[in-house]
């Protein structure tokens, strides 16, 4: 018998939150799993408290409301982790719906030798996906799928543990610590890297993780994320976060301006692809992906030079 805490941070998404809560109600609950859901309200100004109160009246498992005043995804996650006592902690976002087998897969994980697990984000597009959005840049909109095969996380795995669909044993969080509040999305921007920072710490501690293709969430992707402006802003924020992360953890390998030299080669190749696209020598999709590499590097250099915290 395991106890599970589901941590659900939310910020001004009272219209989307019911779909997430409905999916948590509809999923099959195994007999060997005692589940408590924690909704972490991160200073919402909409009707989030009323939505949660309404669901508390009819939720089949305990549903707790926690208000967290410190703004930011990492602070909200930490508040949820502190509020619970479950053997296993699972984290999802307020624009996601869990698969009906999600709890069952977590119960299976509980009986495994692994310390943490993650799974795919299947896209739920609000409008038809533009052709220029490729799976290569799926992480920008929240489209992440590493295939149908179970794989151990580590150097041989081309991916990281993603915070919108993650399962970690509580003893592991007691060992490595909580999320770093200097990283992660806030109401001020699209910064991130709290996931990668946690992932690096888990691997550095010698802990074992597994990617479970059956641990599925369905991620709502609004039309506003399917714009070139949003992609540029996201990559700029990614570069900002990389600068912060590099202050916390020195990257491996040769560096240039504090950034791995391969990152500059990566951006230079991207710039060439973008320029070729202007002359019709590269597909629109490939040219834009090249441009985004440049935005990421520009965001990094800006934060490196001007953000001293």
Tell whether pTM > 0.75.
Answer: yes
For residues 49 and 127, membership in a common domain is answered with: yes
Q: Note whether 194 and 159 are within 8 A (CB).
A: no
pLDDT > 90 in the chain, percent: 52
**Cα-based angle 224, 54, 51 (whole degrees, multiple of 5):** 20
Backbone phi and psi for residue 186, each to the nearest 5 degrees, phi listed first: -130, -175
Tell me how far CA of residue 186 lies from CA of 217, 288, 303, in angstroms: 22, 26, 16
Print the domain residue range for 172. Answer: 2-224
pLDDT category at 260 given cuts 50, 70, 90 is low
Is residue 220 pLDDT above 80, yes or no?
yes
Give the pLDDT of residue 116. Answer: 97
For residues 160 and 111, membership in a common domain is answered with: yes
For residues 239 and 219, membership in a common domain is answered with: no
For residues 112 and 187, membership in a common domain is answered with: yes
How many distinct structural domains can be found in the chain?
2
Is residue 211 pLDDT above 70, yes or no?
yes
For β-strands 2-10 and 88-92, DSSP reports them as parallel
For β-strands 96-98 and 217-221, DSSP reports them as antiparallel
Helix (H, G, I), strand (E, B) or coil at 205: coil
Helix (H, G, I), strand (E, B) or coil at 274: helix
Alpha carbon distance, N-terminus to C-terminus of the chain: 44
Residue 291 tokens read as 């441009």
What number is the average pLDDT over the span 137-144? Answer: 78
For residues 275 and 291, membership in a common domain is answered with: yes
What digits encode the pLDDT tens for the residues 12-45? 999 999 999 999 999 999 998 999 999 999 999 9
Q: Using CA atoms, how far apart are residues 105 and 112, in angstroms rounded to an integer?
A: 11
Q: To the nearest 10°, the Cα dihedral for 226, 232, 235, 239?
A: -160
Comparing C-alpha atoms, which of 105, 83, 99, 250 is closest to residue 178? 83
Domain final residue pick, 188, 204, 224:
224
Domain final residue pick, 224, 243, 267:
224
CATH number at residue 101: 3.90.550.10
For residues 15 and 93, membership in a common domain is answered with: yes
């Amino acid at each position: 018998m395991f106890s599970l805490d589901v941590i659900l941070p939310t910020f001004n998404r009272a219209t989307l939150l019911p779909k997430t809560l409905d999916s948590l109600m509809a999923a099959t609950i195994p007999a060997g799993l005692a589940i408590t859901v924690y909704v972490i309200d991160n200073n919402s100004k909409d009707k989030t408290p009323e939505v949660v109160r309404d669901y508390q009246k009819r939720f089949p498992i305990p549903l707790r409301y926690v208000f967290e005043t410190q703004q930011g995804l990492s602070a909200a996650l930490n508040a949820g982790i502190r509020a619970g006592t479950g053997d296993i902690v699972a984290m999802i976002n307020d624009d996601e719906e869990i698969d009906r087998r999600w709890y069952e897969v977590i119960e299976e994980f509980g009986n495994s030798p692994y310390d943490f697990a993650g799974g795919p984000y299947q896209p739920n597009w609000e409008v038809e996906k533009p052709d220029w959005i490729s799976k290569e840049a799926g992480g920008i909109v929240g489209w992440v799928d590493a295939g149908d095969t179970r794989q151990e996380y580590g150097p041989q795995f081309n991916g990281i543990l993603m915070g919108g669909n993650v399962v970690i044993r509580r003893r592991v969080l007691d060992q490595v610590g909580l999320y770093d509040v200097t990283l992660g999305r806030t109401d001020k921007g699209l910064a991130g890297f709290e996931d990668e920072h946690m992932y690096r710490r888990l691997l550095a501690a010698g802990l074992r993780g597994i990617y479970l293709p059956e641990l599925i969430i369905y991620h709502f992707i609004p039309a506003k994320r399917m714009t070139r402006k949003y992609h540029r802003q996201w990559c700029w924020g990614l570069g900002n976060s990389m600068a912060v992360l590099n202050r916390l953890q020195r990257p491996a390998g040769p560096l240039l301006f504090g950034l791995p030299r391969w990152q500059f080669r990566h951006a230079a190749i991207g710039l060439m692809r973008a320029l070729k696209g202007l002359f019709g020598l590269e597909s629109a999709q490939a040219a834009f992906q090249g441009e985004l590499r440049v935005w990421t590097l520009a965001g990094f250099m800006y934060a490196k030079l001007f953000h001293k915290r």
